[in-house]
Amino acid sequence: MAFVAVESAGALVELDIGGPPGTLARLVESQRELFHTQIDQLQKLVVAQCKLTGVNPLAQEMAAGALSIRIGKRPRDLLNPKAVKYMQSVFSIKDAIGKKESREISALCGVTVSQVREFFAGQRSRVRKLVRLSCEKVTRLEESKTSKEDHLVSLDQSLPVSKVPSGNAAASDAFVTVELKQVPDNTGIFGTVKTYQQETLTSINLVKEEGRPSLLLEETIPGVNSDDKEFLNNIFNLMRKEQTFSAQVKLMEWVLCVQNSAVLNWFSNNGGITILATWLSQAAVEEQTTVLLVILKVLYHLPIHKALPVHMSAIVPAVNRLRFYRTSDISNRARVLLSRWSKVFIKSQALKRPFVSSFKTTLKEAIHKQRMSGFLNDELLQAKLDMPEDILALTEDAETTKTIEPKQALKLLPASGADSSKKHDRSVSSTKSKERRKVLLVEQPDHRAAGRSVQVVRAVSANHSRPMSADDIQKAKLRAMFMQHKYGKVDPSSSGSKLEKIEDPKALSASQINNVLSECKAPQDPHLIKEGNSIQIVSTKDNLPNESETASNSNSNSTSKQVCLGMLNCKPIQWKIPRETQISSTWSVGAGEDSKEFDVQTQRNQREKETFYSCLQDIPLNPKEPWDREMDFDETLTPEIPTEQPPDADAEEGSSCAPIKDAEEAPASKAAADITCASPISDGPPEPDLELLAVLLKNPDLVFALTSNQGKSLTSEEMVALLDMLKRNGVGLTGMLNELAHQKENSSHKTRSQEQEPPTSLPSPTPPSEAVRSGWRSDFGAFSKTPVLQPHFSGNRAAAALTSVVLQPPPATVSPVVSGPQTPGLVSPAQAPAKIFSVPEGMMMNDSTTRNLPPMSLLPTRTPAPSPPQKTSIICPLQQAKVFDSDLPSKQYPVTKTTFISSIPLQESLGHSRTTMSCLPTLPALPHNRQTPQLLPKAEVSPIPPAWLPAPGATKVVRQDTTAHQFISRPNGMLEAAVPNQQYVPSQNNYSTYPSGPVSQVHMLPGSLRGDRNGSLHGDLEAWRLDGGSLGLTESPAGWSYNDESRRGGRSNKVPEWSRQWTTENWDRYRSGGDKRWQDHGHGRQR
Amino acid sequence: MSAITELSQETVRSMAVGAVFTDYAGKISSIDFHRTEDLLITASEDDSIRLYDIANAKLLKTTYHKKHGADRICFTHHPSSILCSSRYNIESTNESLRYLSMYDNRCLRYFKGHKQRVVSLCMSPINDSFMSGSLDHSVRIWDLRVNACQGILRLRGRPTVAYDQQGLVFAVAMEGGAIKLFDSRSYDKGPFDTFLVGGDTAEVCDIKFSNDGRSMVLTTTNNNIYILDAYGGDKRCGFSLEPSPNLTTEATFTPDGQYVVAGSGDGTLHAWYINKPNEVASWNSYIGAVTCLKWAPRRVMFAAASTALTFWIPKSNEEPSNGEATAGE
């Protein structure tokens, strides 16, 4: 650093500021002369040395000795040029060197290690300065355009002294060029001299920058303002836009380049500070240390004491927070900044008035401001140039250097100049400050009025000359609360701020005055006294520093923590019951008129005891739980409300439910169907119920259906329910039955002319069956609730068979009634089966719900046939077969099975899947056709229809059950199989004149069909075929027994079993002896 | 006693703090007045629910809800039954809404369904339905008497709900400042009207209808206040206040529907006359930025809350009349 320059600068400062008072000017003049001569001498000496020897250690020593007195420990300009050159080259590569390197360099160039070190340090600082100056240049160029007093300084740099007097007129461009030159030119003493000059110039430049406003107010301000505002307008725009930290840093560096205090002032007052405050808080949050540093620098740079209180209140808390930042560097800076602000502010406050008074009307308010900024800058300068001060006041050298942070010195940041100045001040004029204390105390009231936040904060920190700690704040808050309770809120704060300001001015303003403006004091003091007299607010409390401090602290806190103190500030008015407001009745504002819960809760509260808690501790942590935890509702049922305007809100609610219902009904209805089958046996017919009778009479087919199911026992309740249902649905039934009749006709036609009518004609019945189904369904739904369970069936079945035998008579009684219409049909055996077929077909076409019907419809066909006598006769054996499933009848079956049936079903089953339906009806027809011939020859046959019907009826009941079960387990297709099954049964029974075997075969037929329908069963079929083949006839009985077991065990098993049995047998039959039958059958068909 | 039908500007201007309750250990998250009784209920972040007598400015009851916390709160029609939304354990218990009785400090019913915090809760003025809007982007309609949800409305953004004072219409605010109006009797048909306010980024955090049903006031999270014509959706006026970060604030109509009072993030309160939009008054709230602000439905009184609760009443120049009023009661 060029300390000479610093000195000159100091002189300049004095010159500048002391302009008005003559004594100061004289003093400065003399100092300057001294400097000039010294510099001249030095230069001559150095030049001479350089010319003579070039590198002369002794000369260096001497020069160092000569200079060190003034310059301090920087004899680097006495380094030999070679070393300088070398070090510069090194420096160009790296700006910092380690110990080892420095030692190497020192060895190489013959300089001391410390010299090397210092060279580098100096270079570094100079580079920084260069950068800064280049920035300044930009601003200065702006200025130079407008400011008329800019004198270009000649490049005659060899005589810096000459420039010192003209320091005010700084050569902006020249500096930079000189500096730029210097680096290359740095050869030998000249170079060093130039460096030195340069530094002098820079300092001068600084001086000029800051001094100019004060001296050339009138001229500079307008131009500067217009241009720099424009300039700064851009800054603002950019600053507001800027989001990234890097860009912020750039902008702030830009701001740092601005030296014009007016501009800076303008900048700070127009929102720059608030922006900086936000940046600062952001950077603090993001922990952007570098950004924080730059921001703090900028804040140093700005004439913050002129900032509006609003801005200050924004920035101070932010900086205050940084005091506790974890990076010590930043926290230190923040602290220093705060303390400096407080001091600066107070100083400026202290100085403000005197100057106003001294210049009074000659200067405008703007000028006054400039003046103030000038002072600030002077102070900045002082801060920067601590060393010169040290030189001037050597005694305090050590102290100041300690207090000032080295980094700040390095970077030329304005360290707290106050510190040093304060010390000067203390040393010089402590008594005066004491004197002035009173004065200032009196002078303060306007500050108090100005604002509690900004000034006070600063004042407080100044008071401590260290930042407030959390403890301080806390204590202060408490005290403030106490004070406020005691005295009200106004006085303490104001008085506090007063006191603190009093203390600081003592230091700061005095220092200024001592150093620079000794003359100014004279005007200042009287003025202050005058003002003080005029205002005179000195409370006794103010003398207690503690109180005042706390009060002020509390106020400063109140800005940040409004709530706490806001509450204190809030003095509730006397509570009165607020008036009621009438709400216009025309508005019909709701008040829970339709609330049901209101009554519920009212009632509940009447039941419950109100809970009170006598003290806070009694209040439980949680309320009591509900009496009963409710089940969670089904979220899926929550209706979704559309958010879009077009109301398409028709939720299809029913649709989803319907299928479910159906599904539920289906099994139940099947069960019901089973019941219906069995029902007539037990109760129906015997009980004379006229209504029912009427219904039954209307629907003979229904009666058949009922009576045919004799095999089953039902509880009377079930029967009654069933019959009731029948009664209710008499009409529907008739409709259904009509349909059935119709179908019968169709089918009978078909049966008669099977070949003529292809199977396709059959589908006709489907629609009517639909109707039927609907009619039935509802009732079955009702039935579904009655617990008709599988166990019931399985368990009953055997019994049912037995009972059926016993109960045979009742059907007989019924049959006469019913038989009337049907008998004609029965006459020709073919017709009867035809009827039977037709019905099932219709049913088969239908859905699962219709399953119930097929058995029903089938049954009647059987029932009409039997004539009482024959029944009994035939039934007995069959029943036996039934009852002893496996034993006698079973054996018979196999035999009969060998007959046609086996072949037929097989073909059918194998050939068709669904379409078997159509074929099946035809098939039964065939057997009948056959039957008649067969029956005739066999003599027994004449009563055949009646004869076989009852018997099979019994057997069939059981079968039906099984089929019914199978249906249940099967998909729709199974129905078809089942139906033919039963149909065949009668026909087979006809044949059963032989053995009863056909019955079993009949069963097999459906089984086969089923097997086909269910692809999965094929495997079973196959398997059984093998078995059947091996076992032969004997196998079948086993199969039957198995069947029974399976029935009891579970439905699912039955199906495969069925299929197995008869398939095997069928196959066997088919292969072995069934050919005839089959052929017959084929004939029938072909016919 | 004399009940007034219209508030004069002087009255509004003279409002001042009449009572302060500072014993809260946390922010007050919501407050609600009973529609007819002189009761106020508050829910605070300290998990307390407190019941006040607003005529006498007395704390009546305090209960704690440490398990669920207390977030949004709302009176039912019964003066001791309230609805409260939970702050904690919503995911584990699913008990995002509770029906509570202050009478015997019992939870009456849990309303499960919301998966996240409820940020808006309101009760139908006429019947037992109520609505809740949650951060799970759904609005649910409930009935006090059953715990099953009566309807769900899925939407985007933060939902805010409000019934009008007649109980005929309710409004749901969703993403982008869209306000949808539903017929409260046939809400399943979808909204019958949609208003848009404040642009795409607007997030309405509070809706209130005026008693006369003519206006609605919307407060956005960045503290812009819009006063809309409740029928046409036209913006009648808008005010912009200092936002308070991370806080939602409220604006409220006076019972006569002529003024709107709102809190600013800078700790001030402002009142506007909405018929000829101009600021009637502004006060220091004394409690910082207010989070809750509601005018009593049948009193010349409003309550503002942040971490403390304040009751504001008119400073009585007309001392005698007020005295009469008190005497009348």
Q: How many residues does the structure list for chain A? A: 1087
The reply to whether A578 touches chain B by the CB within 8 Å rule is yes
Q: What integer is the mean pLDDT of A203-231?
A: 44
In chain B, residues with a C-beta closer than 8 Å to the C-beta of A643 are 153-155, 172, 174, 180, 190-191
Domains of chain B as residue ranges with CATH: 9-313 (2.130.10.10)
User: With an 8 Å Cβ cutoff, are A623 and B65 in contact?
Assistant: yes
Q: Cα–Cα distance between B70 and B26 in angstroms, integer?
A: 11
Window A:1029-1068, CB contacts with B under 8 Å: none
Predicted pLDDT of residue A580: 87
What's the pLDDT band for A87 if we cut at 50, 70, 90? confident
Q: CB-CB: which of A572, A608, A622 is closest to B103? A: A608
Least confident span in A584-593, A632-641, A879-888: A879-888
Q: Residue A925: is its pLDDT beyond 70?
A: no
Percent over 90 (pLDDT), chain B: 67
In chain B, residues with a C-beta closer than 8 Å to the C-beta of A585 are none
Cβ proximity of A866 and A812 under 8 Å: yes
Taking CA atoms, what residue in B is nearest to A567?
Answer: B286
Least confident span in A109-118, A476-485, B217-226, B275-284: A476-485
Phi then psi dihedrals of residue A861, to 5 deg: -60, -35
- Start-to-end CA span in chain B (Å): 7
Predicted pLDDT of residue A706: 65
pLDDT tens column, A24-72: 888 999 999 999 999 999 888 878 877 776 655 455 666 666 665 554 4
Per mean pLDDT, which of A486-495, A535-544, B182-191 is the most reliable? B182-191
What's the pLDDT band for B87 if we cut at 50, 70, 90? very high
Residue B53 C-alpha, separation from nearest chain A C-alpha, in angstroms: 10
Predicted pLDDT of residue A248: 78
Predicted pLDDT of residue A331: 80
Taking CA atoms, what residue in B is nearest to A570?
Answer: B286
Q: Which residue has the higher pLDDT, B34 or A410?
A: B34
User: With an 8 Å Cβ cutoff, are B18 and A640 in contact?
Assistant: no
Q: What integer is the mean pLDDT of B35-47?
A: 94
Q: Cα–Cα distance between A175 and A204 in angstroms, integer?
A: 10
Q: Which residue has the higher pLDDT, A34 or A366?
A: A34
How far CA A752 is from CA of A829, A833, A924, A931, B86, in Å, comes to 11, 11, 11, 14, 81
Q: Cα–Cα distance between B106 and B93 in angstroms, integer?
A: 17
What's the pLDDT band for B122 if we cut at 50, 70, 90? very high
Q: Residue A453: is its pLDDT beyond 60?
A: no
Q: Whose structure tokens read 């502010």?
A: A345
Window A:596-615, CB contacts with B under 8 Å: 596-598, 600-602, 604-605, 608-613
Q: Whose structure tokens read 């095997």?
A: A1064
Predicted pLDDT of residue A42: 86
Q: Residue A710: is its pLDDT beyond 80?
A: no
Q: Cα–Cα distance between A114 and A310 in angstroms, integer?
A: 50
User: With an 8 Å Cβ cutoff, are B5 and A581 in contact?
Assistant: yes
Residue A501 C-alpha, separation from nearest chain B C-alpha, in angstroms: 29
Which of A927, A956, A921, A753 has its CA nearest to residue A838?
A: A921
Cβ proximity of B83 and B76 under 8 Å: yes
Q: Cα–Cα distance between B312 and B324 in angstroms, integer?
A: 19
Predicted pLDDT of residue B242: 87
Percent over 90 (pLDDT), chain A: 1
The reply to whether A646 touches chain B by the CB within 8 Å rule is yes
3-state secondary structure of B86: coil
Q: CB-CB: which of B109, B165, B297 is closest to A630? A: B109
Per mean pLDDT, which of A479-493, A697-711, A808-822 is the most reliable? A697-711
Q: Whose structure tokens read 């339709």?
A: A594
CA angle A858, A864, A865 (to 5 degrees): 100
Predicted pLDDT of residue A334: 81
Q: Residue A7: is its pLDDT beyond 80?
A: no
- Look up the ipTM and state it: 0.89
User: With an 8 Å Cβ cutoff, are A589 and B125 in contact?
Assistant: yes
Predicted pLDDT of residue A154: 38
Q: What integer is the mean pLDDT of A804-818?
A: 40
In chain B, residues with a C-beta closer than 8 Å to the C-beta of A594 are 126-128, 167
User: With an 8 Å Cβ cutoff, are A590 and B68 in contact?
Assistant: no
How far CA B328 is from CA of A578, A755, B34, B114, B325, in Å, comes to 12, 105, 21, 46, 5
Residue A582 structure tokens: 């009438």
User: With an 8 Å Cβ cutoff, are B67 and A622 in contact?
Assistant: yes
What's the pLDDT band for B1 if we cut at 50, 70, 90? low
pLDDT tens column, B138-154: 999 999 999 999 999 99
Per mean pLDDT, which of A210-214, A284-288, A952-956, A1081-1085 is the most reliable? A284-288
User: With an 8 Å Cβ cutoff, are A634 and B288 in contact?
Assistant: no
Q: Residue B317: is its pLDDT beyond 70?
A: no
Predicted pLDDT of residue A340: 78
User: Which of A481, A489, A577, A638 would best serve as a mutation to test chain B binding (most B beta carbons within 10 A)?
Assistant: A577
Residue A779 structure tokens: 């009732």
Predicted pLDDT of residue A271: 73
Residue A592 C-alpha, separation from nearest chain B C-alpha, in angstroms: 4
Q: CB-CB: which of A567, A581, A592 is closest to B299? A: A581
Q: What integer is the mean pLDDT of A989-1009?
A: 41
Q: What integer is the mean pLDDT of A882-908?
A: 40
User: With an 8 Å Cβ cutoff, are A601 and B76 in contact?
Assistant: yes
Residue A628 C-alpha, separation from nearest chain B C-alpha, in angstroms: 9
What's the pLDDT band for A322 if we cut at 50, 70, 90? confident
What's the pLDDT band for A546 if we cut at 50, 70, 90? very low
Least confident span in A93-97, A774-778, B73-77, B218-222: A774-778
In chain A, residues with a C-beta closer than 8 Å to the C-beta of B163 are 590
User: With an 8 Å Cβ cutoff, are A620 and B105 in contact?
Assistant: yes
What's the pLDDT band for B183 if we cut at 50, 70, 90? very high
Q: CB-CB: which of A595, A622, A626 is closest to B65? A: A622
Query: Which helix (H) or strand (E) segment is B149 a member of?
Result: strand B146-154
Taking CA atoms, what residue in A is nearest to B102?
Answer: A611
Predicted pLDDT of residue A905: 40
User: Which of B126, B163, B316 would best serve as a mutation to test chain A binding (most A beta carbons within 10 A)?
Assistant: B126
What lies within 8 Å, CB to CB, of A360 at 6+ separation is none
Q: Which residue has the higher pLDDT, A1074 or A84?
A: A84
DSSP assignment letter at A574: P
Q: Which residue has the higher pLDDT, A789 or B29?
A: B29
Predicted pLDDT of residue B30: 94
pLDDT tens column, B45-61: 999 999 999 999 999 99
Q: CB-CB: which of A572, A584, A626 is closest to B19? A: A572
Q: Which residue has the higher pLDDT, A347 or B92?
A: B92
Q: Cα–Cα distance between B14 and B35 in angstroms, integer?
A: 24
In chain A, residues with a C-beta closer than 8 Å to the C-beta of B300 are 578-581
Predicted pLDDT of residue A715: 61
Residue A376 structure tokens: 């600030």
Q: What is the mean pLDDT of chain A?
A: 53
Give A1012-1040 as a DSSP string.
Answer: HHSTTHHHHHHHHHHHHHHHGGGHHHHHH
How far CA A878 is from CA of A832, A1007, A1041, B314, in Å, comes to 21, 21, 15, 104
User: Which of A285, A558, A579 would best serve as a mutation to test chain B binding (most B beta carbons within 10 A)?
Assistant: A579
Which of A35, A17, A129 has its CA nearest to residue A391?
A: A35
Q: Which residue has the higher pLDDT, A96 or A597?
A: A597
Q: Cα–Cα distance between A534 and A532 in angstroms, integer?
A: 5
Q: Cα–Cα distance between A207 and A215 in angstroms, integer?
A: 11
Predicted pLDDT of residue A765: 40
Cβ proximity of A336 and A405 under 8 Å: yes
User: With an 8 Å Cβ cutoff, are B190 and A596 in contact?
Assistant: no
Q: Residue B162: is its pLDDT beyond 50?
A: yes
Half-sphere exposure of A1000 (CA within 13 A, CB side): 41
3-state secondary structure of A307: coil
Q: What integer is the mean pLDDT of A797-824?
A: 40
Q: Which residue has the higher pLDDT, A744 or A170?
A: A744
The reply to whether A470 touches chain B by the CB within 8 Å rule is no
Q: Which residue has the higher pLDDT, B83 or A765?
A: B83
Predicted pLDDT of residue A231: 65
The reply to whether A639 touches chain B by the CB within 8 Å rule is yes
Predicted pLDDT of residue B86: 93
What's the pLDDT band for A713 if we cut at 50, 70, 90? low
3-class secondary structure per residue, A720-747 = HHHHHHHHHCHHHHHHHHHHHHHHHHHH
Q: Residue A321: is its pLDDT beyond 50?
A: yes
Q: Whose structure tokens read 């440490």?
A: B66
The reply to whether A285 touches chain B by the CB within 8 Å rule is no
Predicted pLDDT of residue B314: 92
pLDDT tens column, A848-873: 333 343 444 344 444 444 444 444 33
Residue B225 C-alpha, separation from nearest chain A C-alpha, in angstroms: 24
Predicted pLDDT of residue B309: 93
In chain B, residues with a C-beta closer than 8 Å to the C-beta of A579 are 1-4, 299-300, 314, 321-322, 325
Q: Cα–Cα distance between A1007 and A1002 in angstroms, integer?
A: 9
User: With an 8 Å Cβ cutoff, are B267 and A562 in contact?
Assistant: yes
Q: Residue A1005: is its pLDDT beyond 80?
A: no
Phi then psi dihedrals of residue B218, to 5 deg: -120, 135
Q: What integer is the mean pLDDT of A574-590?
A: 86
Q: What integer is the mean pLDDT of A774-782?
A: 39
What's the pLDDT band for A140 if we cut at 50, 70, 90? low
Predicted pLDDT of residue A279: 80
Q: What integer is the mean pLDDT of B226-235?
A: 89
pLDDT tens column, A167-188: 343 334 334 333 434 434 433 3
User: With an 8 Å Cβ cutoff, are B126 and A593 in contact?
Assistant: yes
Per mean pLDDT, which of A163-172, A358-367, A959-968, B214-223 is the most reliable? B214-223
Predicted pLDDT of residue A703: 66
Q: What integer is the mean pLDDT of A683-690?
A: 52
| Number of inter-chain CB pairs under 8 A, A vs B | 295
User: Which of B82, B108, B163 would best serve as a mutation to test chain A binding (most A beta carbons within 10 A)?
Assistant: B108
How far CA B101 is from CA of A600, A723, A1022, B104, B136, in Å, comes to 12, 55, 73, 6, 27
What's the pLDDT band for A591 if we cut at 50, 70, 90? confident
User: With an 8 Å Cβ cutoff, are A592 and B36 in contact?
Assistant: yes
Per mean pLDDT, which of A164-168, A971-975, B315-319 is the most reliable? B315-319
